Amino acid sequence: MSPSRHSAVVTRLRAAGCVFAEDEARLLIAAAPTPADLDAMVDRRAAGLPLEQVLGWAEFCGLRIAVDPGVFVPRRRTEFLVGQAAVLARPRAVIVDEAAALGRPRAVVVDLCCGSGAVGAALAAALDRVELYAVDIDPAAVRCARRNVANAGGQVYQGDLYEPLPAALRGRVDLLVANAPYVPTDAVGLMPPEARLHEPRVALDGGSDGLDVLRRVIAAAPPWLAPGGHLLVETSDRQAPQLIESVAHNGLIPRVARSDELNATVVIGAESAAVGRCG
């Protein structure tokens, strides 16, 4: 790519309001197979599509996650959810080492509201062996997630929360993770245009207080959890107290984990057998 071509892309991206025009130009130039493809990609980016949807991938937990147009772009803050889940899985992996020696997988992981499948794929990469199941209601997300969890042998189902999961998973799930929509309906219109215009409403809108989907995730979680299993959901600081109440009300032992660096909040519900073992 000639320097003049590079600076033409930077100029175009800057004019479209891209703050990181230099970095974006470098990524787009590297990704475009031909000059015509590059023009088309720059056009789409200048029209406001998220960079990740234009490139076709996002970096998440050090992995390259495929992201199709119209699919939620995994956020950096969600790496905190993955980290918290991985920490909880590890002591458990030791406990079930005997089972592993018998050829059984170490952790059963369910990624609800999986979008691209980034959370499940990252957990599969972080843990030694997992049996991974993911669910999303949106067919475009399900198609995308199938590509991202294929390496881990993950299964992706389309449907509403737990409804499409195999009944045989009841009582066997070690880690139940969900980054579900949690933006209050009135706040969706205040989101940046990249999200508001190019990510599906079903990925963002969590109802009047943002908690419609998460309340349902929590209420139906207990029968799916294995003894000592954990539910982990991403939320906002402001919403966390209500979710803690909901977790306790549904018979799980609640706590909150917070990262100031990533501005991330995760509410965790432990099945009672988990407490005393890994906190």
Q: How near is the Cβ of 230 to ligand SAM at its closest, in Å?
A: 17
Q: Which burial class, exposed, middle or buried, applies to 97 when counting CB atoms under 10 A from its CB (0-12, 13-18, 19+)?
A: exposed
Of the listed pieces 131-139, 219-227, 237-245, 267-275, which binds ligand SAM according to CB under 6 A? 131-139
23, 160, 237, 245: residue in contact with ligand SAM (rule CB under 6 A): 160
Please name the residue that has the structure tokens 């088309």.
40
Question: Does position 113 bind ligand SAM by CB under 6 A?
Answer: yes
Cβ nearer to ligand SAM, comparing 57 with 72: 72
Question: Does position 142 bind ligand SAM by CB under 6 A?
Answer: no
Q: Is the dihedral of CA 105, 106, 108, 114 positive or negative?
A: negative
Residue 33 DSSP label: S
- Residue of minimal CB distance from ligand SAM? 115
Of the listed pieces 9-17, 85-93, 110-118, 149-157, which binds ligand SAM according to CB under 6 A? 110-118
Local structure of 109: helix, strand or coil: strand
Binding flags for ligand SAM, 222-251, as an x/- string (CB under 6 A): ------------------------------
Cβ nearer to ligand SAM, comparing 118 with 211: 118
38, 66, 72, 121: residue in contact with ligand SAM (rule CB under 6 A): 72
* φ, ψ for residue 130, nearest 5 deg: -135, 155
119, 156, 176, 218: residue in contact with ligand SAM (rule CB under 6 A): 119
User: CA 240, 215, 110, 86: dihedral to nearest 10 degrees?
Assistant: 10
74, 83, 210, 228: residue in contact with ligand SAM (rule CB under 6 A): 74
Cβ nearer to ligand SAM, comparing 32 with 183: 183
Is beta strand 173-178 parallel, antiparallel or unpaired with respect to 107-112? parallel
Residue 114 DSSP label: -
Count of residues of this chain found to bind ligand SAM when the rule CB under 6 A is applied: 22
Local structure of 257: helix, strand or coil: strand
Question: Does position 141 bind ligand SAM by CB under 6 A?
Answer: yes
DSSP string, 143-196: HHHHHHHTTTT-EEEESSTTTTS-GGGTT-EEEEEE----B-HHHHTTS-HHHH
User: Angle at which helices 3-15 and 35-46 pack, to 10 degrees?
Assistant: 20
Q: Is the dihedral of CA 257, 261, 200, 138 positive or negative?
A: negative
83, 115, 222, 229: residue in contact with ligand SAM (rule CB under 6 A): 115
24, 52, 79, 138: residue in contact with ligand SAM (rule CB under 6 A): 138
213, 225, 243, 267: residue in contact with ligand SAM (rule CB under 6 A): 213
Residues within the interface to ligand SAM (CB under 6 A): 72, 74, 78, 113-116, 118-119, 135-138, 141, 160-161, 179-181, 202-203, 213
